[in-house]
Structure 1
């Protein structure tokens, strides 16, 4: 199938790009074909974010979004920020001492999945073709090395890769230009960065793992629009950085979650168990107690910021949103930046298609530099490195000085040049961490959590978690790091199983995978590669 523009991924960046291209086509009277492929079973099925949403980009894309019915129903009414000293005590930070970027006046508590569903309706209404359930599994190239398009994955293969009765071959989708917007650690984006050396001269990308639940709570405890952020406990006990959030949306519901930086060094740490512990802190427990957990999800977050941004253009294509790493970690927000990156990409690609070019290396970088997005990310370039170098408290002090006192950034730039996977120390050098058993009221195990994510994969398909060396987990990672995949995976995908004879093997329960990509990022040997399973597989997040 041939298109003018092909977009891989129906997240905020990809859908904003589709909408903006078709707006420009309508305004100029041009005919332009736009296709969006999405690996989730429906638009929004794989979308997971906090989400306190800044409407800056949406105001530009659809100035009358309120009249159009965009699902922004809960304006932020109050920010509470706490330093949790230990499992019992928390210190509320006065608003005057909070870094300016963490104030949320004018923002909304939303479901990003529902916003993406709404954006997809707008794009389809303008003529976009959107195909959920089709995973882009391969990049196609022209003879000159430029991007030709993508191929979707074969469906109906057995575990050995042989066709079953339900076999359906993949399809080639060709386009004059392809926009890759797969989200954090997109597996095609990862290939493009390597092939075109897009990260030359940049800091290595950095990541966090965000784990989130949706709760129904006691109406007497519900305060629509309340935003709560914390730092400190429980992560500080293991020398790890990150922070938690609790957002009161509509209908007596709250989002609660924990972001753990994947630069942590102790292989005994389990981000999932740290999140379970968090819910017992009085500042969190007071809202959840007596409530009911109704959804669960996890997703890696691209948080290297400006210093780690790769070159985002290459012959025939662009890399946008979290596929490139446009999240503003000082705001704990990436949706408005992803949308803007997609809109800049749309304007760049539209001009190229209109002029009759195909497969060119587009002037996206110069257009990006001319946008407010560039300035916003440049001004926060020290935030992530300062957090990693100095910890949350001193790093927060640097952020406060830059944002509240200087109203800009320091004339120097901090760098963080160690990749997250290299940060892990041998297990023998680190303090073991003992986690309490779940009480099934506030805290839960992995398998019951994965059940609430509605995760499913077609049975007997090839495993989508590829090991470069199948023996390495037991031979090297187990004796050196106590095989950390058992703990960093938030879905119980990886196990070390002991046989009757005392031998051990590395087991992959790929059916559990929630597509968070943490294993692809954090494995200390970089032995695990995440590739797309059959289209439609994975989680199906409701209202997340």
Structure 2
């Protein structure tokens, strides 16, 4: 059965903040210039926002540029940040860092606590009102190349395939979506983005990308414990001084609290469980009170790009570009990436629109990386570029080092710390063998404050048809048992 083919000016893979912002900006420019553009967005989730974890703090800078009247349009940014707290934890106590000691860029004044899923759904309605075609429930499974080797679009996955690869009665082949330019907004470490990086050598000359695992729970707390607009961040316990990470607690909405825990994947001990560290974190005397009497109503986890400026790959290639977390624009100390994702989507859209206006197609959008280097996104990441690499020296030296760098940059004295520290190895190279590391005895779950993984996955609302091929493909099926389990006690 032959594939159906659809032609567009621009195809965008991923309906997150970056992909939707790119689509909207393209349509805005087309309307302003009296042009018609065919713009299509593919989203693998069953609906836009389905794969977005709820609860985030957003810097509205990019949104202000995209829609200066976003408040009048009803954007769901309803909870402005009212208070910031930064705590250092040991096993028994919490030590609050005075706000005046924190670098100004860490201040959340003017930011909003949001449901990022709801923001994406709102962006979806704005995009569709401009004429963007959005196909939810369709994942991009294959990159298509033209005779010159340039990206010509993507193909969606076949529908109706059984677990053993045979075709079920309802089988339908995927569609081919051809475009003059294709923008990839898959999120962190997307499979198609990884293919592009290898094919076009996009990582040549840059540091390895580093990652974290972020786990998040959504709680409905008792009214007297809810403080709308409160933002809490912590470092320290339960992690040791040489395991990077931290937590966040955001109060928003209808007695909602979004609680999350991030562990940098450069940890050494293979017995460490990021999931169990998160559960243990909630039992701290200074933390548990927020959740007591409340109810956990949601759970999720995601990978996070942490390499920063040093790890950003080449952004453009023949026929397309990487935008948002496909490239990695997260500002780690601020724990924010949505504003940068949106802006890079807009920058790529502007470069693509100029190219289309000049009659070009499937060449390299060189104007996009040039615009990035001149943008506030670059400045945002440049100021914090030495924070992550400094954490290799441990919690206190690394935090002090990062704080000094951020303060000097905020004061306009960045030339005093003009060097850039490098990421010299990938995360997995830090992991010790199981025999070389102490085992960790995690407490049992109580089912009230701490929970087992099965009940957590149930709350993630992850639903898949049972009789379908696995979406995770192993390069070598022997490695999980012969290497990971045998030598590292199965850290995955």
Bin of the TM-score, shorter chain as denominator length: over 0.9
CA distance change for structure 1 residues 92 and 232 in 2, over 3 Å: closer, same or farther? same
Contact kept in structure 2, 1:100 and 1:400, CA below 8 Å: no
Gaps of 5+ in 2: 1-5
**After the TM superposition, which residues 395-410 of structure 1 pair with which residues of structure 2 at under 5 Å, given as runs?**
395-407=398-410, 408=412, 409=414, 410=417
The Cα shift of 1:471 comes to: 2.2
Q: 1:59 maps to what in 2?
A: 64
Q: 2:419 maps to what in 1?
A: 412
1:88-131, Cα deviation, whole Å (9 max, x unpaired): 21111111222322210000000111000000100000000000
The Cα shift of 1:76 comes to: 0.3
| Count of residue pairs brought into register by the alignment | 482
2:219 paired with 1:215 = yes
Q: 2:140 maps to what in 1?
A: 136
Aligned counterparts of 1:361 and 1:144: Cα–Cα separation in 2? 13
Q: 1:45 maps to what in 2?
A: 50
Aligned counterparts of 1:322 and 1:376: Cα–Cα separation in 2? 15
2:381 paired with 1:377 = yes
User: Of the candidates 109, 113, 123, which is equivalent to residue 109 of structure 1?
Assistant: 113
Contact kept in structure 2, 1:43 and 1:120, CA below 8 Å: yes
> Is the partner of 2:441 in helix, strand or coil?
coil
* Range that drifts further, 263-272 or 49-58: 49-58
Q: 2:485 maps to what in 1?
A: 478
**After the TM superposition, which residues 148-163 of structure 1 pair with which residues of structure 2 at under 5 Å, given as runs?**
148-163=152-167
User: Of the candidates 453, 461, 466, which is equivalent to residue 454 of structure 1?
Assistant: 461
1:139-170, Cα deviation, whole Å (9 max, x unpaired): 00001000000000011111111101121211
Provide the TM-score with structure 1 as the length reference. 0.87
Aligned counterparts of 2:122 and 2:86: Cα–Cα separation in 1? 31
Aligned counterparts of 2:231 and 2:479: Cα–Cα separation in 1? 44
The Cα shift of 1:397 comes to: 1.4
CA distance change for structure 1 residues 71 and 368 in 2, over 3 Å: closer, same or farther? same
Aligned counterparts of 1:70 and 1:50: Cα–Cα separation in 2? 15
Q: 1:319 maps to what in 2?
A: 322
Contact kept in structure 2, 1:203 and 1:416, CA below 8 Å: yes
Aligned counterparts of 1:452 and 1:324: Cα–Cα separation in 2? 30
Aligned counterparts of 2:375 and 2:476: Cα–Cα separation in 1? 44
**After the TM superposition, which residues 4-403 of structure 1 pair with which residues of structure 2 at under 5 Å, given as runs?**
4-48=9-53, 50-86=55-91, 88-236=92-240, 239-363=242-366, 364-387=368-391, 389-403=392-406
Aligned counterparts of 1:471 and 1:199: Cα–Cα separation in 2? 28
The Cα shift of 1:379 comes to: 2.0
* Range that drifts further, 128-137 or 228-237: 228-237
Provide the TM-score with structure 2 as the length reference. 0.96
The Cα shift of 1:396 comes to: 2.0
* Range that drifts further, 316-325 or 400-409: 400-409
Aligned counterparts of 1:58 and 1:12: Cα–Cα separation in 2? 10
* Range that drifts further, 176-185 or 282-291: 282-291
> Is the partner of 2:269 in helix, strand or coil?
coil
The Cα shift of 1:449 comes to: 0.4
The Cα shift of 1:271 comes to: 0.5
1:1-58, Cα deviation, whole Å (9 max, x unpaired): 0000000000000000001010000100010010000000000000126511100000
Aligned counterparts of 2:394 and 2:251: Cα–Cα separation in 1? 28
Aligned counterparts of 2:221 and 2:118: Cα–Cα separation in 1? 21
Aligned counterparts of 2:319 and 2:408: Cα–Cα separation in 1? 43
Contact kept in structure 1, 2:433 and 2:487, CA below 8 Å: yes
Aligned counterparts of 2:260 and 2:331: Cα–Cα separation in 1? 18
Aligned counterparts of 2:229 and 2:18: Cα–Cα separation in 1? 25
> Is the partner of 1:79 in helix, strand or coil?
strand
Contact kept in structure 1, 2:216 and 2:300, CA below 8 Å: yes
Q: 2:3 maps to what in 1?
A: none
The Cα shift of 1:482 comes to: 0.9
> Is the partner of 1:436 in helix, strand or coil?
coil
Contact kept in structure 1, 2:321 and 2:348, CA below 8 Å: yes
Aligned counterparts of 1:84 and 1:431: Cα–Cα separation in 2? 22
Runs of 4+ in 1 over 4 A off after TM superposition: none
Aligned counterparts of 2:423 and 2:374: Cα–Cα separation in 1? 26
> Is the partner of 1:68 in helix, strand or coil?
coil
* Range that drifts further, 390-399 or 150-159: 390-399
